[in-house]
Structure 1
Amino acid sequence: MSAQPVNPSVPPDHVTVEIDGQSLVVPKGSMIIQAADKAGIPIPRFCYHEKLPIAANCRMCLVDVEKSPKPAPACATPVMDGMKVATRSEKALKFQRSVMEFLLINHPLDCPICDQGGECELQDVSLGYGRSVSRFNERKRVVPDEDIGPLVATEMTRCIQCTRCVRFTADVAGTYELGGMYRGENLQIGTYDGKPLTTELSGNVVDVCPVGALTNKVFQFRARPWELTARESLGYHDAMGSNLFLHVRRGEVLRAVPRDNEAVNECWLSDRDRYSHQGLYSDDRAVKPLRKVNGEWKEVSWAEGLAAAKEIFAANQGDDLGVLVHPSASNEEGALLARLASGLGTTNIDHRINNRDFSDAATAEVFGLPLAEIEGADSIVVLGSNIRHELPLLHARLRKAQTTRNAKIHAVNPVDFDFAFKLASKQIVAPSAFIDALGNADLRDAVKGASNAVLIVGGIAENHPQAAAIRAAARDFAAATGAKLCRIPQGANAVGLTRAGVLPAGKDVNAMLAQPRKAYAIYGIEPGLDFADAAAARKALAGAQVVAFSQFACASTRDVADVILPIGALPEVDATLTNLDGREQSARAGGKLPGEAREGWRVLRALGGELSLAGFEFTDLAGLRASLAPVSVNVSSSAATPVAGEGLEVTSTAAIYRTDAVVRRAQALQSHPLNNAPRIVLNADDAARLQLVEGQMAKVGTDAGRATLPVVVDARVAAGSVWIESGHGATAPLGAARVTVVAA
């Protein structure tokens, strides 16, 4: 065979194609539409989406390929060397206009009342490719709607069967909840069983739908897109820090939509981040400073509220004062709280309110492998995490790793949680047995041979009473197998607050509650639900003077506080958060602060000024940010809580839509099928031994408190343990390592 000339300007595995007269060098295997997009050449499309598998069923992207007798769908036609494509020739335009005409035959003429109006792909494309008058006189078909849950509204008569939603639920979410039914003109998209969507990513079907068939039910009929102002913001309900836009009208946040960031959330958004804005408008928002006078709450001015707080802090300094901070507080707030504590002479400050074991002085760490690279791993171990609920979009990346790279995923958990990927192996054991499970030779051998292995340690492990020993075992496993260690930070800004020095050189949160201080500052915390041991927290706070910096004047805050100073939530303030990759990200104020509430940093600056403390001399946010710098703290340690004893070992996970005060107040999320009522879940053997049956009420007790909860018997739960979801008032007293369970 004779030698062939090689074009040095074309890289290996690339080909040269011509699109609309423009010569392009593109990777082999690319589709025409991908090559055109890269060059900025527009091709109309409906079914094609760069993050979804190719379906090629709308035919809107038909183009004219030289020497081809038929039109070619640009989304499903691979490029070939020397190929010449015309997207705007007379022939190509005829193809595209004909397809547009067919798509509009049955589409209803209801743009004036459609929520998609103004941001609809069908409107945009039909303007360029549609006819001004329809040639069809037949009656349009009507498709009955079905209720698919509290988050997504349906108007399926508008559906053009692009199947984007079907492919999203199947290939990204992995729940296979939507599909096509019937054939031909009778084809319908819907659920097969008529039940609500159960995926934690369901709102993304609204984004991928190119027409108004699937819309945001919470936003339905609230506003038009051109009435809204977009503000860059962040998800603040988990450590991923998903990028999003808040859409605001006259100071009210009406919806949240994803903001593309391939390194963080790609183009997706979890339902928790998308719909939580409802909680901002709860009836118990703190809108004015409150002071308790003779046991009664009284609205006061900011001057009087700050004076009352100053009086409490001035009288209780040094070791008498404890500062407890919610792990979603911003970097700016964290820095000022650390300065406040330092100025008042206390080293008792902590944000690790979900943790139980501080014996190793552990703090939040940046992931050992960047988030975007985890989907490239070929061996993944999930330790102590219901990852689908804890970090929904990381769960989606794990599924992507399996479907695209055939990654082997192993789980070590106390419950055989429902994941949207197949497990190569699983060990379902009580949390205290995690250490032995990590030492399993089969598991270690399976991971050792991988070229890119990851160990993900979740909240069940991080918040367990023996967390220090589990973390040590995880580090040993990572060192022995070469796996990158990724400990999930327990809080949206746990990494940022660690860097800001919101950590104890004195007493940690457990010690502050076990040995009550005379006064406390609690920041952004709902004391009845946010602590790992709510009973101990309530007892300690009830006997002290408490200044609460809070978004909500809820019952549990009113019970323990002496002063409530209303502060804004993240969607209402300018702030920065640091995510699990160590990426510092900014959010802009979107919603209007309610009533007389103020930005947290502004309240802290005013209080620091009243107390004449150093570090509060700045006058604006820019001045504060200019003074920020990482703070190193010699973090104190305390004895671990023993797990041995009588009763069942507790497996506690955060209920997916009960993770923080704002989410708990989002009504639509509380109606979601994934939001279970308070309950205890145990396996059949333990239930039989305790003479309990499904649905029976049981008394669950600890040294700290008791609760009466319904029993659920589930074979997925490890023997010797009981699964409880936190975030509910009914389960709040159960913050111990073990519980006793008896029939009510």
Structure 2
Amino acid sequence: MSAQPANPNVPPDHVSIEIDGVPMTAPKGSMIIQAADKAGIPIPRFCYHDKLSVAANCRMCLVEIEKMPKPAPACATPVMDGMKVATRSDKALKSQRNVMEFLLINHPLDCPVCDQGGECELQDLSMGYGRSISRFAERKRVVPDEDIGPLVATEMTRCIQCTRCVRFTGEVAGTYELGGMYRGENLQIGTYDGKPLTTELSGNVIDVCPVGALVDKVYQFRARPWELIARESVSFHDALGSNLYHHIRRGLVMRTVPRTNEAVNECWLSDRDRFSRDGLYADDRATVPMVKEAGQWREASWEEAVARSAQILRENGADRLGVLVHPATSNEEGALLARLAEAAGTGNLDHRIGQLDLSDAAVAEPFEMPVCEFSTADVVVIIGSNLRHELPLLHARVRRAWMSGAKVHVVNPVDFDFTFDVASKRIVAPSRIANELAGQALRDAANGGSRAVVIVGALAENGLHAASIRKAAREFADAIGARLCRVPQGANAVGLTRLGVLPASRDAQAMLSDARSAYLLYGIEPGLDFGDIPTALRALGGAQVVAFSHYACASTRAVADIILPIGLLPEIDASMTNLEGTIQGARAGGKLPGYARPGWRVLRALGGEINADGFDFTDLDGLRAGMQERDVVPAAGRAPDADGAGLEVAVSTAIYRSDATVRRSPSLQAHPLNIAPRAVVNPEDAGRIGISQGDTAKLATRDGTATLPLEVSAKVAAGTVWIERGHGATAPLGAGRVELGRA
């Protein structure tokens, strides 16, 4: 007897099912709730989340299935060919209403004052599935709250034990910091040890919590959801460009939440992107144009400040002028800066302010592997990067690849903490990274993958040996058939590169080591943002400086002659180009403080003052219409001097000291990951020098000295001292080897 012919309308590896009378197909092995969601058929749920494993413990998604005597959870019941499901039958609705009644037995009735009110999943579903009165007359249980850090507030009496937060910290964050304690009605969600959350993704537990048990501690009680206006924006703290919404109340950014984009950040957001909003309203925010006269600052009108800035540009044109741009500057501002430099006749224009070795004329390049494919990589090689702090959400994708069987190999000067196991690691001094990549042993270990990727991070890109590491990484990737992904050093480094914010003559280091008579600084905090801060401050201190600035900080006031206050990304309409080369737009949300203006408007006024070409537009649309990519190939810079006595320096950026806005966020500065500045050395070096854990060490370079607490750890390669930049205490060191001794 012949086999039954296959249904031509059913795709391969799919089955035919029916939900609420609607015929459809669904992939084999998928769950009923997934098929219903795809068809737009609503099924109530609390514990189910499409990015987390199935727990099936809330039972809110019970549905009726033909020929099954009992209702079944839609989140944990696989589809089967010919299955007929009813989500709104009497049996299904009765089951869902009974579950809702049980959930509300112990839930506090504080909806009118609850800080989750108006955006609570339990509140919404109880309106449709809850009873008008409660049959429960006993006392409700009370769960003590737990202090889990400066970012997330707890109201655990509201918890319905959906375990979404537990699964998030275990599966996505990889820190396993939350779990269930006790049993039955005594079950509680907590951290076991009472310590604060240390994951860099902790704010996402706020989003996944369907009730008000975990809420934004910084935003709590400051506004109601119906008072807020959402504005689309992107992150400007790393090159991933996470998509997000700023929630605005009366012109103030009250909170930041993720905006789903599966190709970039999925539905997650790093704590740095979520909580840095505090920094927008720092006390030293630049709010009014200022000019310096006889060493004293005074407020000025925009007309006076722009006219004085134009005078400095006219008096110091051509090679006497240097234009230094922060790599998180928007595309629109970058395009105008390139035009302004051209009008001033200078080729001294650069955004690569943190990179010390540009002897290979390296520029930011888009990733060769799309971010969404990192989760399916089978071989990942991480070179010179604390990836977990540098790109938290990319690190999470690498973790997912590891959970699927990928092999991760690491070449670093520091054995950084990751949330995945590594198949091999080579912890060597920065000068030896290139040699390790050229070695056959590593190539053999990393070979054999069909979806291999090599990641080169900030520690490699910004160090004294960057050029040799970039060359070796390219050869290594070609040898194992991997795609090379060099992390752009700045949120918009790729966009600024495309728009020609690059030197036709002197690069950033060259125009600082050989000081110019005048500088235009754009969005830079001079005392903390440069790769070689002592050299930068010496050059700026002896020149005339026009500072387009978000903050009137002490270091800006020390070197600048004019401060022009400009808006940050959450306050302006702009576009940014992320590490994939994708242009993403941001809408103005928060109001500009005081007399600050969008940077493009100030640049337009300055360009008009010096009669420059390309500044005759009247609005942002006119500016964008004239924007075009520039093919600028920068000349190779001078190789830095990496020789000398002392220890090599491995410099990474502290996770919450990466830019001026993050550094001014009180909540992030209180985070456990924000560790005080210190010097970390290998035990061999500590024993040889005669210093030990807890000592105060003196570090000396050719440019300056610093006094830091000493930490001794075998995680640091021998012959290396590891410090984190972004702190005032480490800024005086500059570049070069370090002589280490007891203070």
Give the TM-score category using the shorter length: over 0.9
Q: Which amino acid aligns with 2:170?
A: A
Please show how residues 373-452 of structure 1 align to structure 2 within 5 Å: 373-403=373-403, 405-452=404-451
Q: Which amino acid aligns with 2:91?
A: K
Superposition TM-score, scaled by structure 2 size: 0.99
1:279 alignment counterpart? 279
Give how far 1:636 is off: 1.4
Is the 8 Å Cα contact of residues 31 and 75 (structure 1) preserved in structure 2?
yes
2:211 alignment counterpart? 211
1:68 alignment counterpart? 68
Give how far 1:642 is off: 2.6
Give how far 1:318 is off: 0.1
| Distance (whole Å) between structure 2 residues aligned to residue 3 and residue 64 of structure 1 | 32
Give how far 1:683 is off: 1.4
Is the 8 Å Cα contact of residues 251 and 589 (structure 2) preserved in structure 1?
yes
Is the 8 Å Cα contact of residues 702 and 736 (structure 2) preserved in structure 1?
no
Give how far 1:307 is off: 1.1
| Distance (whole Å) between structure 1 residues aligned to residue 392 and residue 46 of structure 2 | 27
Q: Which amino acid aligns with 2:577?
A: T
Please show how residues 666-705 of structure 1 align to structure 2 within 5 Å: 666-705=665-704
Give how far 1:20 is off: 0.5
| Distance (whole Å) between structure 2 residues aligned to residue 263 and residue 727 of structure 1 | 30
Structure 2: which 5+ residue stretches go unaligned?
A: none
User: Deviations 1:186-238 (Å, cap 9, x if unpaired)?
Assistant: 00000011000000000000000000000000101000000000000011000
2:83 alignment counterpart? 83
Give how far 1:730 is off: 0.5
After superposing the two structures, state which structure 1 stretch, 631-640 or 343-352, moved more.
631-640
Q: Which amino acid aligns with 2:28?
A: K
User: Deviations 1:154-192 (Å, cap 9, x if unpaired)?
Assistant: 000000000000000000000000000000010000001
| Distance (whole Å) between structure 1 residues aligned to residue 686 and residue 641 of structure 2 | 24
| Distance (whole Å) between structure 1 residues aligned to residue 24 and residue 494 of structure 2 | 44
Give how far 1:443 is off: 1.9
Q: Which amino acid aligns with 2:250?
A: R
Structure 2 residue 628 is matched with structure 1 residue 629: yes
User: Deviations 1:490-547 (Å, cap 9, x if unpaired)?
Assistant: 0000000001100001100110111000000000000000000110000000000000
| Distance (whole Å) between structure 1 residues aligned to residue 358 and residue 612 of structure 2 | 30
Q: Which amino acid aligns with 2:194?
A: G
| Distance (whole Å) between structure 1 residues aligned to residue 519 and residue 555 of structure 2 | 15
Superposition TM-score, scaled by structure 1 size: 0.99
Q: Which amino acid aligns with 1:61?
A: C
* Number of residue pairs matched by the alignment: 743
| Distance (whole Å) between structure 2 residues aligned to residue 15 and residue 506 of structure 1 | 64
Structure 2 residue 641 is matched with structure 1 residue 613: no
Give how far 1:638 is off: 1.8
What secondary structure does 1:78 align onto? coil
Give how far 1:3 is off: 1.4
Is the 8 Å Cα contact of residues 45 and 60 (structure 2) preserved in structure 1?
yes
Structure 1 consecutive aligned stretches of length 4 or more whose deviation exceeds 2 Å: none
What secondary structure does 2:112 align onto? helix
Is the 8 Å Cα contact of residues 409 and 446 (structure 2) preserved in structure 1?
no
| Distance (whole Å) between structure 2 residues aligned to residue 111 and residue 696 of structure 1 | 54
2:254 alignment counterpart? 254
Give how far 1:733 is off: 1.4
2:705 alignment counterpart? 706
2:522 alignment counterpart? 523
Q: Which amino acid aligns with 1:296?
A: Q
Is the 8 Å Cα contact of residues 447 and 483 (structure 1) preserved in structure 2?
no
What secondary structure does 1:529 align onto? helix
| Distance (whole Å) between structure 2 residues aligned to residue 332 and residue 138 of structure 1 | 63
Q: Which amino acid aligns with 1:126?
A: S
Q: Which amino acid aligns with 2:616?
A: E
| Distance (whole Å) between structure 1 residues aligned to residue 497 and residue 341 of structure 2 | 15
1:54 alignment counterpart? 54
| Distance (whole Å) between structure 2 residues aligned to residue 703 and residue 543 of structure 1 | 20
User: Deviations 1:442-491 (Å, cap 9, x if unpaired)?
Assistant: 32123221111000000011011111111000110011111000000000
| Distance (whole Å) between structure 2 residues aligned to residue 435 and residue 637 of structure 1 | 20
What secondary structure does 1:37 align onto? helix
2:465 alignment counterpart? 466
Q: Which amino acid aligns with 2:247?
A: H
2:508 alignment counterpart? 509
Give how far 1:737 is off: 2.6
Give how far 1:321 is off: 0.1
| Distance (whole Å) between structure 1 residues aligned to residue 649 and residue 232 of structure 2 | 40
1:541 alignment counterpart? 540
Structure 2 residue 322 is matched with structure 1 residue 327: no
What secondary structure does 2:245 align onto? strand
2:357 alignment counterpart? 357
Please show how residues 40-439 of structure 1 align to structure 2 within 5 Å: 40-403=40-403, 405-439=404-438
User: Deviations 1:347-367 (Å, cap 9, x if unpaired)?
Assistant: 000000110011110000000
1:648 alignment counterpart? 647
Please show how residues 11-50 of structure 1 align to structure 2 within 5 Å: 11-50=11-50
Give how far 1:440 is off: 2.6
Please show how residues 543-622 of structure 1 align to structure 2 within 5 Å: 543-622=542-621
Is the 8 Å Cα contact of residues 576 and 583 (structure 2) preserved in structure 1?
yes
- RMSD across aligned positions (CA): 0.7
| Distance (whole Å) between structure 2 residues aligned to residue 11 and residue 597 of structure 1 | 58
After superposing the two structures, state which structure 1 stretch, 682-691 or 234-243, moved more.
682-691
Q: Which amino acid aligns with 1:238?
A: D
| Distance (whole Å) between structure 2 residues aligned to residue 114 and residue 711 of structure 1 | 46
Q: Which amino acid aligns with 1:25?
A: T
Give how far 1:644 is off: 2.2
| Distance (whole Å) between structure 2 residues aligned to residue 709 and residue 442 of structure 1 | 37
After superposing the two structures, state which structure 1 stretch, 551-560 or 633-642, moved more.
633-642
What secondary structure does 1:113 align onto? coil
| Distance (whole Å) between structure 2 residues aligned to residue 131 and residue 571 of structure 1 | 43
Give how far 1:260 is off: 0.3
Structure 1: which 5+ residue stretches go unaligned?
A: none
Q: Which amino acid aligns with 1:518?
A: S
What secondary structure does 2:733 align onto? coil
| Distance (whole Å) between structure 2 residues aligned to residue 591 and residue 508 of structure 1 | 34
Is the 8 Å Cα contact of residues 231 and 246 (structure 2) preserved in structure 1?
yes
| Distance (whole Å) between structure 2 residues aligned to residue 180 and residue 644 of structure 1 | 54
| Distance (whole Å) between structure 2 residues aligned to residue 621 and residue 169 of structure 1 | 42
User: Deviations 1:70-106 (Å, cap 9, x if unpaired)?
Assistant: 1100000000000011100000001000000000000
What secondary structure does 1:374 align onto? helix
What secondary structure does 1:380 align onto? strand
| Distance (whole Å) between structure 2 residues aligned to residue 116 and residue 515 of structure 1 | 57
What secondary structure does 1:162 align onto? coil
| Distance (whole Å) between structure 1 residues aligned to residue 86 and residue 141 of structure 2 | 35
Structure 2 residue 488 is matched with structure 1 residue 489: yes
Q: Which amino acid aligns with 1:294?
A: A
Give how far 1:634 is off: 2.6
Give how far 1:373 is off: 0.9
Structure 2 residue 705 is matched with structure 1 residue 742: no
Is the 8 Å Cα contact of residues 466 and 642 (structure 1) preserved in structure 2?
no
User: Deviations 1:409-430 (Å, cap 9, x if unpaired)?
Assistant: 1100111111001101100111
2:658 alignment counterpart? 659
Give how far 1:735 is off: 2.2
| Distance (whole Å) between structure 2 residues aligned to residue 281 and residue 434 of structure 1 | 41
2:722 alignment counterpart? 723
2:3 alignment counterpart? 3
What secondary structure does 1:104 align onto? helix
| Distance (whole Å) between structure 1 residues aligned to residue 366 and residue 736 of structure 2 | 28
User: Deviations 1:226-262 (Å, cap 9, x if unpaired)?
Assistant: 0000000011000000000000001000000000000
